[in-house]
């Protein structure tokens, strides 16, 4: 099963002299269960690619399938449903709901998708524990540090057991202890066969991935399966 497939995927911004080829005719196949790290210098198109894969941004050209469905021309409504049911997004700007506690923020996605309250709560508590926040479940976002909020957002992205998890610099603002928690969680997801695409500058995250793609100027400069892939 192919979790993600792109053909000639392209996102351009601007015109003429100001034309930017943020993502330039990318072909990609990510089999279900693969964990993929995307690396590359600032501005090479990593976030743009991830936003395309998550259906948050329309490609200028090209075809894209997510979880077996073609999404490049899907209606906004159908896209929203696909994201809710099949995609977990961890982005640089993570928006938690201010009036909900950490555990309520995490369980919300599962509740919206129809999971029973009891099962949603159980999973939320487990995920918060995995990201090192077992004792912060009843805190509001305003009572948490930036790194703690980021970890709540990661737990939230996983609450619905999505087929595909897309993460943009998930350890970007975290200290080494907190990023180790996230690293362990991702390793656990990888071991359980979760499809994972992680944009990262963190060599430790790339080291636990099955495959690493390096981007340059909107295209893939290198694509390697890691030795010892499990
Ligand atoms: N809305 C936009 N309008 C015009 N250009 C854009 C827009 N968004 C991104 N770009 C350009 O597209 C290119 C790719 O940006 P992108 O955010 O994907 O890079 P990145 O690899 O994620 O970088 P970083 O590591 O700094 O996060 C950059 O040159 C950027 O300036
Ligand atoms: Mg980026």
String of DSSP letters for 110-121: HHHTT--HHHHH
Which of 9, 17, 46 should be mutated for ligand 1, with most atoms under 8 A from CB?
Answer: 46
Model pTM greater than 0.85?
A: yes
Structural domain boundaries of the chain? 2-97+163-225
Residue owning the nearest CA to atom 28 of ligand 1: 43
Q: Tens of pLDDT along 31-90?
A: 999 999 999 999 999 999 999 999 999 999 999 999 999 999 999 999 999 988 899 988
Binding site membership of 47 for ligand 1 (Cβ less than 6 Å): yes
Region of residue 92 (phi > 0: left; psi between -120 and 50: alpha; otherwise: beta): alpha
200-204 average pLDDT score? 88
CATH of domain 2-97+163-225: 3.40.50.300
d(CA 209, CA 148): 24
String of DSSP letters for 147-203: HHHHHHHHHHHHTT--SEEEEESTTTT--HHHHHHHHHHHHHHHHTT-EEEEE-S-H
Which of 9, 18, 20 should be mutated for ligand 1, with most atoms under 8 A from CB?
Answer: 20
Neighbours of 132 (CB within 10 A): 19
Residue owning the nearest CA to atom 10 of ligand 1: 22
Residue owning the nearest CA to atom 6 of ligand 1: 13
Residue with the bigger pLDDT between 87 and 172: it is 87
- Ligand 2 (ion): which residues have CB within 5 A? 47
Binned at pLDDT 50, 70 and 90, residue 95 comes out as confident
């Amino acid at each position: 099963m192919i979790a993600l497939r792109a053909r000639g995927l392209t996102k351009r911004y601007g015109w003429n002299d100001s034309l930017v080829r943020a993502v330039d005719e990318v072909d990609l196949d990510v089999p279900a269960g693969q964990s993929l790290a995307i690396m590359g210098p600032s501005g090479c198109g990593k976030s743009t690619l991830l936003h395309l894969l998550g259906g948050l941004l329309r490609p200028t050209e090209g075809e894209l399938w997510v979880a077996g469905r073609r999404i490049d021309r899907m209606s906004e409504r159908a896209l929203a449903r696909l994201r809710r049911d099949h995609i977990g997004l961890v982005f640089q700007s993570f928006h938690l709901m201010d009036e909900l506690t950490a555990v309520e923020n995490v369980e919300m996605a599962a509740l919206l998708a129809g999971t029973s309250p009891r099962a949603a709560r159980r999973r939320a508590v487990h995920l918060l524990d995995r990201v090192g926040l077992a004792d912060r479940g009843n805190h509001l976002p305003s009572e948490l540090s930036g790194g703690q909020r980021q970890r709540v957002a990661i737990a939230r992205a996983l609450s619905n057991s999505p087929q595909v998890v897309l993460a943009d610099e998930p350890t970007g603002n975290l200290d080494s202890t907190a990023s180790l928690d996230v690293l362990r969680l991702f390793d656990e997801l990888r071991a359980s066969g979760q499809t994972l695409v992680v944009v990262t500058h963190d060599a430790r995250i790339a080291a636990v991935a099955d495959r690493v793609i390096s981007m340059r100027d909107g295209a893939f400069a290198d694509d390697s399966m890691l030795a010892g892939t499990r």
